[in-house]
Amino acid sequence: MDTGLALLLAAAYLFPLYWMYVTALKEPREIFLNPPSFWPHRLHAEFVQVFVEHGMAHYLWNSCLIAAGATLLTVLLGTGGAFVLSRRNDRMALGALFLVLLLQALPPSLLVTPIFVAFNQLGLLATPRLAVVLAQTGRMLPLFIVLTRPSFAQVPRELEDAARMDGASRSKVFLLIAVPLARNGILVSTILVFLQSLGEYVYSRSLISSDQLQTATVGLRGFLGTNTTDWSGIMTYAAIYVTPILVLFALLQTRIVGGLTAGALK
Amino acid sequence: MSARRRSGQDRPGFLHRSGFETALLAAPVLFLVAVSALPVLYTIAMSVQSVDMFDILSLHRPFVGLRNYIHLFHNPAAGRIALNTLLFTTCSVVAQVTIGFALAVFFQRRFPGAATIRGVFLAAWIMPGLVVGAIWKWMFAGDSGVVNAILAASGLIHAHPFWLSDPHLALPAVIIANIWLGVPFNMILLSVGLAAIPRDLYEAAAMDGAGSIRSFVSITLPMMRATIAAVVSLGIIFTLQQYDLISGLTEGGPANASNVAQYWSWQLSFQTYQIGQGSALAVLMLAVTALVASIYVSSTRREVVA
């Protein structure tokens, strides 16, 4: 009985997602029926047409490129930080953790003004996608560190101490013992950072001026602005964009939820 | 480093201190200082300067004191946007925590599939905010939107309101979409807190004849005080970060009816190029966020150390 109610609640909650897919699969005429049909009368998909007409190939490519760059930089910089913060609780480590948590709270739409002016002065806006990668890494680093730290905390210290006794250097202990043992947690945080970065919007919109270099979010915003009656097309665009994200999330759902609950409140 | 500290046994972390570890920690910290902390200082500087498109590349800009702040407060939209920000944040957080709490309590009953079905809710949380805004914009459409159709079918409304272009309904519509977006994260965090309450407390209360409402009020709520405080402050932080959803739904319109401070600051800088005023507003909002964040961090400090 409870399971049935739970399924009902989840279905009601996810109705907007269902509505996106149903709209994408309806004929344009059927969309404006009143009252609306909750199941398409005739299936009608324009995925290829929308994908080509709205230049989704280059938008999605830019989104992937920026997300990959930001994820790589985040993992390179953040893994060591998460490890050290799981091992030390002296004043310096606590100060670093406080800074990380504080900076995580700052709204990107406010930070983007000084970032825009400073990057402009430094000439970084000549490579706008790199500029977005740097800004987005700043946003994702705290999240990555907070989520990955508990995985390192679970690695038994005795293993590291034993390796140290055998003469292993600190860098070897970190790279050959701690990182391999915490790899599941690192992987989950990495995927989470990548999925979040695929939806990056405010930095791309503000720092990238050339449409050829823009991301899928900005492409969707342009679509929304020019023609607000082509909802079939807009929902098709949205479905193409988010389906890979949803599939990846569904495959790793249990692990992501586990990683979130371990990291978020600690 | 003093000899007293060197010999101190109460500082085990000290024994692990090394150049390698310091470098590992310094890399992300220095990066964050460069792309987050320095920009904060730069905003403060620009908020007391005259910044326009001509001197944007120059480091020497005229100092104007508090003029940007005064212009900001005299802007006719300021009062409305301040009230909107307060309403947007308060209504979103209260509703997200309430609904999230109810769902967390429900999913705490261990029925088959509870964990999996609960995880399904997070699908909304992983979606790009702009896409969520686009979907809700379509659902809120006046003529053929599904929200109006459902409300009309259940007899709640007879007219077809144009949610997003009606000055009285635009903000509520944005709030509803934002509540939808925030519920899963609240539910998951509150579930963690609920799972940590010892079961035998409830068993003891049941033996003493306490009903479910009674044990909720006298066991669940007090035991959840720290979690609720953390979730509320995180909720305020995330709501003050919300930009994508507003951009997708209304872009703050019509006539600032659904505009909030973090979106307005961006508009001032990037649409009307009043970077000084945009920075002044950013400074005020960053101060609010930093205050909430430090309350959050110090409230979870004990767990952080552990």
Residue environment code for A47-59, b if the CB has 16+ CB neighbours within 10 A, otherwise e? eeebbeebebeeb
Query: What is d(CA B116, CA B110) in angstroms, rounded to the nearest whole number?
Result: 12
Which one of A117, A220, A231 has the shortest CB-CB distance to B46? Answer: A117
pLDDT at B9 over 50: no
Domain that holds residue A230: 43-264
Residue A22 located in a structural domain = no
Q: What value does the mean pLDDT take over residues B217-231?
A: 87
Can you tell me the mean pLDDT for A174-184? 90
What local confidence, expressed as pLDDT, does residue A46 receive? 86
The predicted structure's pLDDT at residue B236: 94
Chain B residue closest to A81 (CA)?
B25
Q: Is A117 exposed, middle or buried (0-12, 13-18, 19+ CB in 10 A)?
A: buried
- How many folded domains does chain A comprise? 1
In chain A, the largest separation of any two C-alpha atoms, in whole Å, equals 76
Query: What distance lies between CA B126 and its chain's CA centroid?
Result: 15
Model confidence at A225, pLDDT cuts 50, 70, 90, reads confident
Q: A196: domain CATH number?
A: 1.10.3720.10
Q: How far apart are CA A88 and CA B37, in angstroms?
A: 23
Domain boundaries, chain B: 71-305
User: pLDDT-derived band of residue B4, with 50, 70 and 90 as boundaries?
Assistant: very low
Which of B21, B29, B35 is nearest residue A115 as measured by Cβ atoms? B35
The answer as to whether A4 is a domain residue is no
Distances (CA, A) of B146 to A163, A227, B113: 63, 19, 30
Q: Is residue A12 part of a domain?
A: no
Nearest beta carbon to residue B111 from set A6, A117, A250:
A6
Average pLDDT of the segment spanning B42-52: 89
CA triple A184-A91-A142, angle to 5 deg: 40
Task: Judge contact between B160 and B74, C-beta under 8 A.
Answer: no
Q: Which residues of A touch B22 (CB under 8 A)?
A: 84, 92
Bridge partners (DSSP) of residue B49 are B63
CA angle B301, B303, B305 (to 5 degrees): 70
Instruction: For residues B97 and B125, give the distance between their C-alpha atoms in angstroms, rounded to a whole number.
Output: 15
Between B18 and A265, name the one with better pLDDT.
B18
Any domain includes A146: yes
Min Cα separation B201/chain A (Å): 23
Helix (H, G, I), strand (E, B) or coil at B49: strand
pLDDT of residue A220: 94
**ipTM score above 0.90:** yes
Residue A67's pLDDT is: 97
Q: Contacts of residue B122 in chain A, CB cutoff 8 Å? A: 249, 253, 256-257, 260
Helix A216-226 vs helix A56-87: crossing angle, to nearest 10: 130
The whole-number pLDDT of residue B301 equals: 57
Among candidate residues B108, B129, B107, the one with its CA nearest the CA of residue B262 = B129
A208 domain-assigned: yes
pTM of the prediction?
0.90
Quote the pLDDT of residue A227. 58
Residue A8 lies in a domain: no
Q: How confident is the model at residue B300 (pLDDT cuts 50, 70, 90)?
A: low
Is it true that domain B71-305 has CATH number 3.40.50.720?
no
**Would residue B60 be called left, alpha or beta, if left means φ above 0 and alpha means ψ between -120 and 50 degrees?**
beta
Say yes or no to pLDDT of B169 above 90.
yes
What phi, psi does B275 have (nearest 5°)? -65, -35
